[in-house]
Amino acid sequence: MDRVELRGLKARGYHGVFPKEREEGQTFIVDLVLGLDTRPAAADDDLTKTVHYGVVAEEVVAVVEGEPVNLIETLAERIARACLAHDGVDEVEVRVHKPDAPITVPFDDVTVTIIRSRA
Q: Is the pTM of this model over 0.75?
A: yes
| pLDDT given for residue 119 in this prediction | 76
Domains and CATH numbers, the chain: 2-107 (3.30.1130.10)
Q: Distance between CA 17 and CA 102 in Å, rounded?
A: 10
Predicted confidence (pLDDT) at residue 55 exceeds the cutoff of 90: yes
**Confidence at 89, pLDDT banded by 50, 70, 90:** very high
Where are any strands of DSSP class E within 56-108? 91-97
Q: Which listed residue (10, 20, 49, 98) is catalytic?
A: 98
61-81 pLDDT per residue, tens: 999 999 999 999 999 999 999
Residue pLDDT, tens place only, 10-54: 999 999 999 999 999 999 999 999 999 999 999 999 999 999 999
Does residue 92 have a pLDDT over 80? yes
Asked if residue 106 has pLDDT above 90, the reply is yes
Residue 98 falls in the annotated catalytic set: yes
Answer whether 29's CB lies under 8 Å from 9's CB. yes
Q: Are 89 and 36 in contact (CB under 8 A)?
A: yes
Number of neighbours of residue 34 by Cβ within 10 angstroms: 25
